[in-house]
């Protein structure tokens, strides 16, 4: 789900807001929704599962890291030059020597690499 930073979709209930929040892929989307519908914010938060709440907190944690905006937590990625075209799910990020790396799981194994070596897949 992509939410324009200047306009949130029309929402009429905390349940609808919770649905949109659960699908948000960036912290900017979360902020747009909660700032547009502050009266639904607390009720919507209570409707989210613990996993959905944790996902939103992860978005907040990485909101200032550019690589996390390109490859948000939970999105699917694959290495650009992978002949097997194995896909993984983004689970974290790490920084070493001034470079941010994307950490992802593939078939139960954890892997990591710089973002420029990855592509996002549907």
Domains and CATH numbers, the chain: 14-61 (no CATH), 66-121 (2.30.30.30)
pLDDT in tens, the chain (122 residues): 556 555 778 999 999 999 999 999 889 999 999 999 999 999 999 999 999 999 999 999 999 999 998 999 999 999 999 999 999 999 999 999 989 999 999 999 999 999 999 999 98
CA gap 8, 48 in Å, rounded:
19
How far from chain centre, in Å, is Cα 71?
Answer: 7
10: tokens are 């029309």
pTM metric for this prediction: 0.77
């Amino acid at each position: 789900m992509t939410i324009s930073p200047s306009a949130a979709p029309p929402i009429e209930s905390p349940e609808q807001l919770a649905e949109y929040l659960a699908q948000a892929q960036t912290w900017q989307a979360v902020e747009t929704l909660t700032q547009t519908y502050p009266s639904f914010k607390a009720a919507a938060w209570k409707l989210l599962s613990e996993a959905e709440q944790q996902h939103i907190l992860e978005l907040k944690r990485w909101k200032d890291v550019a690589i996390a905006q390109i490859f948000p937590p939970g999105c699917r990625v694959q290495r650009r030059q992978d002949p097997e075209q194995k896909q993984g799910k983004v689970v974290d990020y790490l920084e070493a020597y001034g470079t941010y790396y994307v950490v992802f799981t593939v078939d139960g194994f954890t892997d990591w690499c710089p973002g420029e070596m990855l592509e996002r897949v549907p």
